[in-house]
Structure 1
């Protein structure tokens, strides 16, 4: 598999599931524009990127909640890079508390980062993808979309929205040679799990529900993304691929 000559726009690229995918895409020859505002994770990815070849990783610290600012910065980057061939909408925030305690502003804040920022990314990349007659878009959803999840209603709603956009975009962009798919990760041992008060108990819960009795790794997500952005998946679009060890089956 080669991604030589491809430019990737990747949000949340330095996080627990993003780091390994960024490195894998660079190893396949891609130029990865890694969007992440977490300075600690970004520094870790920057250090790894020194050994990323034959592709490259360029880190960009952008506040995804500032949609107008995001659009301006992406337009500048797209002009500098000659457009984007691949968009991976991965960044997400996930506050946790009872539904009645959320304000409407908090709901909107989650939607803005988890969904609306991805819309801005696709709007920026789409004209060049159409011009080339080739493009790949991958939205990172969640298995919580299927079963719901207590205390995470804004997050669950945002991940459901990404599945809907995946299907609508696939239908609309398909005539231009652009595929759009989603990945729904299961439970992975990343910083996201720190919201759980009993980590060991949560691990037991996860393994009880999965068909495969091991925890997932970032490499599992990286491999799935690499497949969906490659020419090996050129006849697959509008789909949601669960990468969850057989937790949710549909």
Structure 2
């Protein structure tokens, strides 16, 4: 009697950074759960490939929209187009992200601005713009892709860690403000997964050994292992869950030293 609550049939999800890596995996997973999907990133060719894959594998509708989610103009235009083409938006997954692993004493203004704009400002602009639409239509689900780096001090860079910590706090505040509108806001906090952002790092055997040594499950994650948590938080199965960050980390954040 409870399993149907995990289904997303009749829903439309918008996923940022959907052209590759985690965003691609999440978009496909949401479609497999029954949702139509709006794919958003800067590279049209990547989005077209994912849209074709979704249509062939799931039969769900996929809308590929190239846009810059780091600017208000880009977000407004993209969301307006998404609503025109898809009809409505029930789920938003803020996945777009980047990192520049520069030591704190060497971080430039340009690096700071670029990471903050992509990891934090874009998530807020998307949440604000889609949130207005959700408010008018009786509610929705927002899932932010944060990181264990927002919870623990790691050698991922001061700017990246700061943006992810801010994203976790933003998740709580939006959940508090928007609960009255039926908008549930949660986050996931991944550890290391194979993506274009981590490809070079995970090619280093000594680095992988360090990562797995800090992980109770003794391995890095698989992209499909992020799909279930996001589908759950997007579904009616999580109708009493808001303001939370679900760490998908092989137990890393519970590890004691």
TM-score, normalised relative to structure 1: 0.92
The answer to whether 1:246 aligns with 2:242 is no
Q: What is the distance in 1 between the residues matched to 2:43 and 2:251? A: 31
Gaps of 5+ in 2: 1-5
CA RMSD after TM alignment:
2.0
Q: What is the distance in 2 between the residues matched to 1:127 and 1:67? A: 14
What does residue 205 of structure 1 align with?
Answer: 210
The answer to whether 1:26 aligns with 2:31 is yes
- Deviation per residue, 1:7-44 (Å, 9 max, x gap): 11110112211222211211222111011224564354
Residues 1:151 and 1:171: Cα distance change in structure 2 (over 3 Å): closer
What does residue 138 of structure 2 align with?
Answer: 133
Q: What is the distance in 1 between the residues matched to 2:23 and 2:143? A: 13
What does residue 3 of structure 2 align with?
Answer: none
**1:133 to partner: Cα distance:** 2.3
The answer to whether 1:229 aligns with 2:234 is yes
Gaps of 5+ in 1: none
Residues 1:212 and 1:127: Cα distance change in structure 2 (over 3 Å): same
The answer to whether 1:64 aligns with 2:69 is yes
Q: What is the distance in 2 between the residues matched to 1:155 and 1:145? A: 8
Residues 1:125 and 1:39: Cα distance change in structure 2 (over 3 Å): closer
Count residues in correspondence: 250
Q: What is the distance in 2 between the residues matched to 1:96 and 1:82? A: 40
8 A Cα contact 2:131 2:183, kept in partner: no
Match of 1:148 among 150, 153, 156: 153
TM-score, normalised relative to structure 2: 0.90
- Deviation per residue, 1:198-231 (Å, 9 max, x gap): 6211211111111112321111101110010010
